[in-house]
Each structure stands twice: as C-alpha cells, then as structure tokens.
Amino acid sequence: MSAARESNASTSRSAIVGGERADEVPAEAWVAALAGLSCVGPVRLARLLDRYEPRAAFAALARGSVSNELLEPKPKEGPLRRTLRDEVGAIDIGELWGRYQAAGLGVGLVGSPGYPEALAGDLSPPPVLFWRGDPNALLGPRVGIIGTRRCSRYGLDLAHEFGRDLAEAGVRVVSGLALGIDGSAHRGVLSVDGAPPIGVVGSGLDHVYPKAHRELWNEVAERGLLCSEVPLGVPPAPWRFPARNRIIAALSDVLLVVESGVRGGSLLTVRDAYDRGRTVMAVPGPVRAATSVGTNRLLADGVAPALDVADVLVALGLSSGATRTDVEARPAPGARGDLVLAELGWQPATVDILIARTGLGVGEITAAIRKLTQQGWVARNGGWIERVAHPS
Amino acid sequence: MLASVFSSTLFGVEGHGVSVEVHCSNGLPAFRVVGLPDANCREARDRVRAAMLSSGFEWFDRKVTVNLAPSGLPKIGPGLDVAIAMGMLVASGQVPAEAIRNIGFIGELGLDGSVRAVPGTLSLVRSLDSLAAVVPLVSVHEARVAAEASNGQAVFGVDTLRSLVDALAHDVAWPAIPDAPDPPLRLAPPDLSEVRGHHLPRWAAEVAAAGGHHLLLMGPPGAGKTMLARRIAPLLPPLDSEECLEVSCVYSAAGLGLPAGGLIDQPPFRAPHHGASTAALVGGGTGRVRPGEISLAHSGVLFLDELGEFAPASLDSLRQPLEDGEVTIARSAVAATLPARFLLVAAMNPCPCGFAGDPGGCRCSVAARDRYRRRLSGPLLDRFDLRVDVVRPDPVALLGGDPEESTASIAARVAAVRFRAQMRGERTNAALSGPLLEELTQLTEPARAMLRGSIESGNLSGRGLKRVRSVALTLKDLQAVRTDDPAGASSPTDPVLLDEDTISSALELRANFADPTSNRRAS
C-alpha cells in the first residue's frame, strides 16, 4: 500500500483504490474492472477511456470527480455517480485480474497489438474484448448467420445447412450462440471439418447463456473463437444483446438472415450491418409463415436472396466450388412413407391435412408418421408434422 | 325405562347400521349422547327436545343417556334425530315398545317437529337392520329404490313427528306419498358427428372409450378440446345394475339427489373447475367424508380442463385412485373407501400463451414453456395412455361437408370392444394386468424393433411399454369388431399378434411429450 501511495501523489483516498496489488496489474485489468461496473456499457466506457488513462478513470470514479457529460444520459434509478464510487471502492483489482489469468482468457484493448484487426476499424469497436480460443480464427472471409430463437424446422434445417456448407468452403461463420437459428448454424459448422466457428456472446464468458448451450460454447471455443465485450461475472441483460449484435455485424463480410419474425433482434443486426456497409442477404420463406415475415420483407425491400450456399459465396467474391453430394444415411421410407413425404412437402401439415391429401385412414397415417419420425424423416412440433432435411 | 331403535349413519358412501339405545333413570335431570357423536349429532338433544315439545309430547326431566351403538363408529350428521326421539318416546312410555319393533328411522328433526331429509338415503336404507324403514317424505322414492335393491323392506314416509307417532301408535293412516316427479327431460347428449375434422382426436376418443385409456388433449385455445371431451361420456355403454347402484349411492351420499324415481343409469360426466381443492377432487373434508369429484365420476368420465392450472399437489393425489379404482380416506377412528373408477380426460394448452405448435405462433420463452409443462409430474403424465394434439381445424372443414360418424355408431364398437375385455376377465383392456397382457399379445419382429427404438431414444418408459401394448390391443380389438362378419373375428381370449403398424399407431397416440426431438434441436 505504501508503494501505491508514493506512486500516486493525489489524495490518500484514491491511493488505496484498487487494493494492494494495484501497481502490478496491466491496463487491461483496469478496463475490465470499468467495463464490469453497473450502467457502464460500451458507449460510456469508450467516453471514459477517451478522457482518461484506464487507471486514472478508475481513480476519478473513486473520487467522484468525473464530469457530468461523461455520464450522460443520467439513468432513472438513483444517483449514478455515488453508485459508481461505491462500486469502484469495493474492487480489489489484483484479485479481479487474478480471475482473468486463472481463466486463461485473452484480453485486448482497442488500439493495442493483441486486439483483433477486424474490429479495430469499426464504427464503435468494443473498448475491450475478452476471448477464449484462437483470435487468428478471424483471419479469412466471414459470414454472420442470424435469425429468430423461435424458429421453424425449416429455419433450423437451413441454418444448419448454410453453416455446414460455408465452413466446408472455408468461410468463418459468425453467430451469437442463441437458441434457434444461431445455435443450429454453429452446429452445422461443427458437424464438418472446415473453417473455425466464431461465437460472439452478450454475457461474461463465465455466464453461459442459454444454459442448454454449454457444450456448444465449449466446442466453439475449442475449435474456433468465442468472444465477448462483457467482463467476467456479468450475467446476460436484455440491453447487452443488441450491443452484441453490432459486433456480429462488424465481424461479418456478409450478414445472412435465415428466419425472422415481424420484429426481432435480427432486424436490429441488419441495421447495424447497413451502417457498416456490409452486404445483407436473406433466406426466403413461405409468405404465410410467421417465422419468415421479417426475412420476406427484407427481400421485398431489395435485399439479395440466399437460396443456397453458392449465392453467399458469390456475394463474398468466392467461387462456389464443387456442389456437395450427400450420402443419405436414413433408411428408405418405404412406399407409404414416400407417399406421405411427397404429400407433406416442405410445409408443416396437420394429421387432418395429410389424411385429406393422401387418402389414408387415421390409423395408417399415424403409423406412417411414427415410422417416419423414428427414421428421422419428419419431426412433430405440437400438432404439426414437419419434414426434416437432414437428421441432426 | 330402556328403548332400542334401529337407525343408520353414513360414512363416506357407505351406511352403517346403528342401534340407538335410550335409558332413563332417576337422578339429576340430564341428557347425554354417547357413542362418538360428532358436534352436529350431539346437538340432536336440543332439536329432539324442541321437536317433542312442539309436537305435543311430554319431555321428562330425568337422567337420560342415549348410546349410539356400535360405540366405536363415528356418527356424523343429524340423521339419527328421529330415532333418538322415538327412543325417548318409548322409554318414557308415550309410545308402546311394540309399535316400533323392527322399524328403522332416518331423518333430521326441525324444532317444530317436522322431519327433514338427510344425504345418503340410498345407502342408509340399504344398511338398516330392520324389516321396515321410516324416512322423510321427500326421500320415499329414493328409499324404495334402495329397498328394492337390497332386502325389500317396507318403506314409509313421514313429514312430522306427530304424524309418525299417530301412524305407529294410533292407527292413523301414513301420510300420502307424493307422486314421483316426472323424469327430467333427457336432452340428447352432444354428438360426435358435430366434431368436424379432428381425425386424430376423434379416433383417440374412440380408443379411450373402448379401452378405458386415459386421454390428454393438448392444443391452442378454441381448437375444440372441451367440445370433444364432452362427447366421450356418451360413448360409454350404459351402466350395469351394479354400477347403477354404486354411482347412485355416491350421488345420494353427496346430497346431489337422484333422477326422479330411479337410479343413475348413464355414465356420469364431471368437469370440476381447476380451482378445486384436493378434498373436493378426491373426497374428504372436515366431519363427514364427502365423496370427491373422482367418486362422482365413478364409471364415467372425469374431465379436467386446463390441467396445467390445477394445483400440482391435487393432481398428484389422483395417482393412487387412478391405479386402484377406489380411494381410501383414512380417519383416526375409521377409514372410508369410496369407489373411483373413472376415465380421466384432461385438456391443456401447450404453453402459457396457448399457441405453441403453430409454427412460429408462440410468444412464450422457452423457459416459460418448460415451466408450464413441468407443472405436470412425470408419473401423472405417464398414466395418460393417449396424449394427442388438437390443432385448430381448417375453417373450410367447419363450414361444410358431411357430418362425421355419429356417437351411436362409434358407441356400438366401444361396447363390442368392452365386451371382449370382459371375456378376458377385466372391465377394460387398460385394466389388464401385465402378465395377462403378455399372454394375450405377441409382437412381430418389426414391432419389437419399433418399440426398442422408442425405448433407446428415451421416449418410452417401462410402464409406457406396457401401456403401449394395451393400447395396441384395443386398436386390434377395434379392427376386429369393425369386420362385419362376427365369425371371422378372432376369439377375445386368443393371443393377438401386434404388428408394426399397430404398435406405431399406439406409440403415435402417446407421442406428445414423449418426442422431444424437435425441441432438443431447437434448444
């Protein structure tokens, strides 16, 4: 503590800020601490770092001497300045930095050598980025695959296909590891031995969200890159996802929307992509499908359609290469199964609809559906039967 | 100075014969009732005294002890009032002892001497140890039904204590018995032909009724789940004589009354609201044990709409009765066993907003959906042999087209299948024991492979395996009774070969909840 007092000639109050090992930690540690404060998002953090050195910003917050315009707009709940002062006062920077070292996380400040180049020139680059895995995974063409969490089987299957085929073509797939489209795209990437996956998440790297994707997180981090601008120990919050989406948009050379409802986070990402001059593509869906309203509207507004992976590769300026020939591993559906599959098509249908189309009895149709489900040709979603493109 | 009078008390749905003994002796004036009377029964002394005085009898100030034998059995309610009053009158010498020999008395007394009805007349009269029964005038028809069904006692009705004593001791005629009210207009039950489309749920309803398999209907609001459920009870065959009496006893004991001049002969349909307490569902309550909804639905259909909104503890209390066909409500002194063999039909939305399943239509978060489904315990869910989705029908199907198959024509098949189950020694296929089921059904190799696949993918439990077999047997029975040539149909006791299609259909009929493939990938 005496060392801290000598090195910092200001008041004794600021001298003890950060705890005993305050002199031993790098600038990254101070930024990580700042980023973890409540009500400090990327915008406030960038403003603070514009004005101060990281450690000085920390000290200024501890003194409560930060000017008002840096903290604008004022939050509704309570006096922000005092909250921040109390929070800063409670931080032991040595212990905090120890956690990052123990977790083996990569930490990069914007402008520093370790910081990913792909983000450095962005409109609003994350002031600090934390990552697991290899940042070199970013080197190469990148396509963001996004879409709704409440997707249909159609969207799930297509996200999987695009992810798989792009990875095979050597394109990095960037996605948010959310339920639905995001997760399915990365599962597609991981199903082949291709380009590394890139995951961008909206919570601290120790807060897996959604919990069901824990394995997916780990696999993405092992085979590619898992990154976040949110420091350790911070749980997901609704406002962090749009902020996460801007990183996805920034990292994507082409942004592909697979399925989206009328309103949704995907459309915010699309706006972020436009702001950055990126190419946006959308997968067309049935006009009546609630899950494709957003994407179809994008197409109507002039966004390029992505019918298969070749379209995306062309947009990237890559050649489409050899077309993929799948080996069908599922058992043959049989004559009755073929009839049901043909009448089902690629649109969800109810048992009643299938009975009307095939002319089979209710006993026969249920037996056929059960058999096709077991073989992996169809899946049930409530009372609706959907065709499965490829078993997962 | 001693009198003994026959009467009866109700516990659960069963009557128990009671001997009311009245003893008068010298001593300080007192009136004590002993023999485990409940509060209501003990208050008889005030009602009896007032009724005797206002009927013009003498109340004598001696030491009176009333014993209700057997003294270990709890006596609940006011049904012993008349018997106690008669005991008092005999013990005090105002009515000769011979006048009440071999007559049982049932009824509650008003302060003005009027005789009022009590619940459970049917069971009470059946359990009387006497050759004749005196009951409140309004209960005469019900009591006659009971007398016919048991030992053919003579039944008399009275409206006041005075008229009772006059008839017994003074050769005055018994009060005239009012005509039995007209049987209520029996409205035609709702018919399945009105349910358009809905092939799968209609078929599931038929299988449920034929095999006694519990049915869970799942679907968005307005899809027609309730409409369908209300049409299942009329599919069941009319009650046989034993069931008629069982069901009528329950209704009588619950104080719900019987249809004019007869027993309940149609399968009951009960649809309790989801706010129902555990006691309301399974029976019980403070004091007397009142039959719950599951007993009122005995031999009929218990319909639980909005299953997810019922209290989880109440639902889990259904598990044992579902298994045993009866429910035992134990009290410190005595336990009542109530019949509760019912077909459980339940309906629920797939998620809080109700639109899960319509692709892209649900607004609930995945967590909210999981929470909603977790409200049903796995063991309860496992007892539904049939779990089908009800989707909103195509509007075009609602508007036109031919009416679907009628209840009458399906009910004929249901009755035929139930008859086959009875030939096998059970009421329904669902009640067949595991070993018997193994004996009666054989699996083809592809059918076996289909089952193995379901077990390996985690969609079928050990219990589920047995249930699938019994549903498959019902499907085969339905096929057998469909064939026009009765000689061609196999004998019910021959082993049935279950092929792949039948097993597949049986699996698909319980597929909801059991097939998480799509969810697993979406999450």
Tell me the DSSP string of B483-503. Answer: SS-TTTSPPTTS-EEE-HHHH
Are B518 and A371 inside 8 Å of each other by CB?
no
Strands B283-284 and B290-291: antiparallel
Higher pLDDT, B106 or A88: B106
pLDDT at residue number A3:
44
Min CA distance, A260 vs chain B (Å)? 10
**A212/B166 Cα distance (integer angstroms):** 82
CB atoms within 10 A of CB B178: 12
Which of A156, A355, A370 minimises the CB distance to B507?
A: A370
pLDDT value, residue A78: 62
Contact of A205 with A132, CB cutoff 8 Å: yes
The CA-based diameter of chain B, rounded to the nearest angstrom, is: 88
Identify the pLDDT of residue B515: 35
- Whether residue A278 has pLDDT greater than 90: yes
Measured in angstroms, the CA of B317 and the nearest CA of chain A are apart by 28
Residue type, B155: V
Residue B502: which residues within 8 A CB-CB, separation 6 or more? A367, B447, B472, B475, B476
In the stretch 385-444 of chain B, residues with CB closer than 8 A to chain A read 389-391, 393-394, 397
**Residue B31 confidence (pLDDT) above 50:** yes
Can you tell me which residue has the tokens 């003074």? B170
Residue A1 has pLDDT above 70, yes or no: no
Which residues lie across from A131 on neighbouring strands? Answer: A106, A227
CA–CA distance, B78 with B76 (Å, rounded to integer): 7
CB contact under 8 A, B505 and A381: no
- pLDDT reported for residue B268: 92
**Per-residue pLDDT tens digits for B252-298:** 888 887 776 678 888 999 999 999 999 999 988 777 788 999 999 99
Q: Which residue has the higher pLDDT, B523 or B17?
A: B17
Average pLDDT, whole number, for chain B? 86
Q: String of b and e for A32-62 (b: at least 16 CB within 10 Å)? A: bbbbbbeebbbebbebbbeebebbbbbbbbb
Residue contact B521–A184, C-beta within 8 A: yes
Span B333-347, mean pLDDT? 90
Position A79 scores a pLDDT of 75
Exposure on the CB side of residue A353, measured as CA atoms within 13 A: 19
Q: Which two tokens stand for residue B437?
A: 């089921």
Residues A84, A90, A93, CA angle at the centre, nearest 5°? Answer: 105
Q: Work out the minimum CA distance from B499 to partner chain A, whole angstroms.
A: 11
Residue of chain B with shortest Cα separation from A294: B360
- Residue of A317, A200, A371, A324 lying closest to B504 (CA atoms): A371
Query: pLDDT tens digit string along A309-368?
Result: 999 999 998 876 656 666 778 889 989 999 999 999 888 889 988 998 999 999 999 999
* A392: chain B residues, CB-CB within 8 Å: 521
Percent of chain A with pLDDT over 70: 92
Q: How many residues does chain A have?
A: 392
Test A351 with B200 for CB contact under 8 angstroms: yes
Cα angle: B127, vertex B301, B303; to 5 degrees: 125
- To the nearest whole angstrom, how far is the Cα of B275 from the nearest Cα of chain A? 27
Give the pLDDT score at B379. Answer: 80
Q: How far is A144 from chain B (nearest CA, A)?
A: 19
Residues A381, B357: C-beta atoms closer than 8 Å: yes
- Write out pLDDT tens, residues A80-134: 778 888 888 888 888 889 898 898 899 999 888 889 988 988 889 999 999 999 9
Sole residue written with tokens 């063991």:
B379
**pLDDT classification of B519: cutoffs 50, 70, 90:** very low
Q: Residue A359 corresponds to which tokens in the numbers above?
A: 């002319």
Residue of B nearest to A153 (CA): B518
Please name which of A145, A201, A391 lies closest in space to residue B520, comparing C-alpha atoms. Answer: A391
d(CA A223, CA A194): 10
Q: At A277, which amino acid appears? A: G
Percent of chain B past pLDDT 70, that is, above it, reads: 93
Specify which residues B217 forms β-bridges with.
B347, B388
Q: Give the Cα separation of B141 and A147 in Å (integer).
A: 71
Q: How far apart are CA B260 and CA B182, in angstroms?
A: 6
> What's this model's pTM, rounded to 2 decimal places?
0.79
Q: How far is B268 from chain A (nearest CA, A)?
A: 29
The pLDDT-based confidence of A7 (bands split at 50, 70, 90) is: very low
- pLDDT at residue A9, as a whole number: 41
| Weakest mean pLDDT among A133-137, B305-309, B373-377 | B373-377
Chain B residues in contact with A340 (beta carbon < 8 A): none
User: Region B363-385: what's the mean pLDDT?
Assistant: 80
- Give the mutation candidate from A179, A366, A387 for the B interface (greatest B CB count, under 10 A): A366
d(CA A263, CA A258): 14
CA B387 from centre of chain: 23
Which of B217, B507, B517, B519 would best serve as a mutation to test chain A binding (most A beta carbons within 10 A)?
B517
Bridge-based pairing of strands A378-381 and A384-387 is antiparallel
Q: How far apart are CA A171 and CA A196, in angstroms?
A: 8
Q: Identify the band that residue B491 occupies on the pLDDT scale cut at 50, 70 and 90.
A: confident
Q: How far, rounded to the nearest angstrom, does the alpha carbon of residue A348 sit from its chain's CA centroid?
A: 28
Give the residue carrying structure tokens 């039995």: B180
Chain A contacts to B (CB-CB under 8 A): 149-153, 156, 179-180, 183-184, 210, 212, 261, 289-292, 348, 350-353, 355, 362-371, 373-374, 379-384, 386, 392
Task: Select the more confidently predicted residue: A187 or B222.
Answer: A187
User: ∠ CA(B166), CA(B167), CA(B169), 5° rounding?
Assistant: 65
Chain A residue closest in CA terms to B457: A374
B199 touches chain A (CB under 8 A): yes
Decide if B360 and A392 are in contact by the 8 Å CB cutoff.
Answer: no
- Check A363 against B203: CB less than 8 A apart: yes
- pLDDT tens track for B145-161: 888 887 788 999 999 99
The residue among B459, B504, B519 with the most chain A CBs within 10 A of its CB, best to mutate, is: B504
A215-242: pLDDT as tens digits: 999 999 999 999 999 999 899 988 899 9
List of domains in chain A: 2-103 (no CATH), 117-316 (3.40.50.450), 334-387 (1.10.10.10)
Q: Are A384 and B391 inside 8 Å of each other by CB? A: yes
Question: Rounded CA gap, A329 and A349, in Å?
Answer: 25
Chain A hits for B511, Cβ within 8 Å:
370, 373, 380
- Give pLDDT, residue A258: 96
Gap from A177 CA to chain B (nearest CA, Å):
11
Residues of B in contact with A264 (CB under 8 A): none
- Count of all residues that appear for chain B in the document: 523
The ipTM assigned to this model is 0.81
User: Counting one residue from A and one from B, how many pairs have CB atoms under 8 Å apart?
Assistant: 120
Of A179, A350, A367, the CB nearest to B366: A179
The pLDDT value given to residue B501: 92
CB distance from B518 to chain A under 8 Å? yes
Residues 84-143 of B with CB under 8 A from A: none
How many other C-beta atoms are found inside a 10 Å radius of the C-beta of residue B173? 8
Q: Which domains does chain B carry?
A: 2-169 (3.30.230.10), 201-213+408-523 (no CATH), 214-384 (3.40.50.300)
How distant is the Cα of A29 from the closest Cα of chain B, in angstroms? Answer: 35
| A133 Cα to chain B: minimum distance (Å) | 24
The CA radius of gyration of chain A, in Å to the nearest whole number, is 25
Residues B64, B87: Cα–Cα separation, whole Å:
11
3-state secondary structure string across chain A: CHHHHHHCCCCHHHHCCCCCCCCCCCHHHHHHHHHCCCCCCHHHHHHHHHHCCHHHHHHHHHHCCCCHHHHCCCCCCCCHHHHHHHHHHCCCHHHHHHHHHHHCCEEEECCCCCCCHHHHCCCCCCCEEEEEECHHHHCCCEEEEECCCCCCHHHHHHHHHHHHHHHHCCCEEEECCCCCHHHHHHHHHHCCCCCCCEEECCCCCCCCCCHHHHHHHHHHHHHCEEEECCCCCCCCCCCHHHHHHHHHHHHCCEEEECCCCCCCHHHHHHHHHHHCCCEEEECCCCCCCHHHHHHHHHHHCCCEECCCHHHHHHHHCCCCCCCCCCCCCCCCCHHHHHHHHHHHCCCCEEHHHHHHHHCCCHHHHHHHHHHHHHHCCEEEECCEEEECCCCC
pLDDT for B323 beyond 90:
no
> Which chain B residues contact residue A381 at CB under 8 A?
357, 359, 518
d(CA A378, CA A337): 10
CB B86 within 8 A of CB B105: yes
**pLDDT grade for B61, boundaries at 50, 70 and 90:** confident
Higher pLDDT, A13 or B382: B382
Q: Give the pLDDT of residue B6.
A: 94
Instruction: Let me know: does B146 contact B121? Beta carbons within 8 Å.
Output: yes
* Banded pLDDT at B3 (limits 50, 70, 90): very high
Q: B459 at the A interface (CB within 8 A)?
A: no
Which amino acid is it at B114?
A: S
Using alpha carbons, list the distances in angstroms from residue A386 to A153, A180, A340, A366, B358.
Answer: 7, 16, 11, 14, 11
Q: What is the pLDDT of residue A2?
A: 44
Cβ neighbours of A261 in B, within 8 Å = 360
Q: Which residues are CB-contacts of B190 (< 8 A; sequence separation ≥ 6)? A: B227, B230, B231, B234
Q: How far out from the chain centre does Cα A30 lie?
A: 26
Calculate the alpha carbon distances from A174 to A14, A197, A236 in Å: 42, 7, 19
Comparing A162-166, A198-202, B431-435, which segment has the lowest mean pLDDT? B431-435
pLDDT tens per residue across span A62-76: 888 877 777 777 765
Phi, psi of A63 (to 5 degrees): -75, -20
- At residue A345's C-alpha, the angle toward residues A342 and A348, to 5°, is 135
The C-alpha atoms of residue B48 and residue A109 are separated, in whole angstroms, by 95
Phi-psi region of B458 (alpha: psi -120 to 50; beta: other; left: phi over 0): left
Mean pLDDT, chain A, integer: 87
Residue of A314 and A79 predicted with greater confidence:
A314
DSSP labels, B241-301: HHHHHHHHHHHHHTT---STTS---S--EE---TT--HHHHHEE-SSS-EE-HHHHTTTSE
Q: Which residues of chain B lie closer than 8 angstroms to A383, CB-CB?
A: 200, 218-219, 357, 389-391
Contacts of B279 (CB under 8 A, 6+ apart): B285, B290, B292
Chain B residues touching A188 at Cβ < 8 A: none
Cβ atoms of B327 and B284 closer than 8 Å: no
| Peptide bond between residue A73 and the one before it cis (omega within 30 degrees of 0) | yes
- For residue B502, list chain A residues with Cβ-Cβ distance below 8 A: 367
**In the prediction, which pLDDT does A269 show?**
93
Which of B219, B500, B509 lies nearest to residue A366, judging by beta carbons? B509
Q: Is the peptide bond before B486 cis (omega within 30 degrees of 0)?
A: no
User: For B523, which of A179, A289, A350 is closest by C-beta distance?
Assistant: A179
Instruction: Note whether B159 contacts A: Cβ–Cβ < 8 A.
Output: no
Of B360, B394, B505, the CB nearest to A363: B505
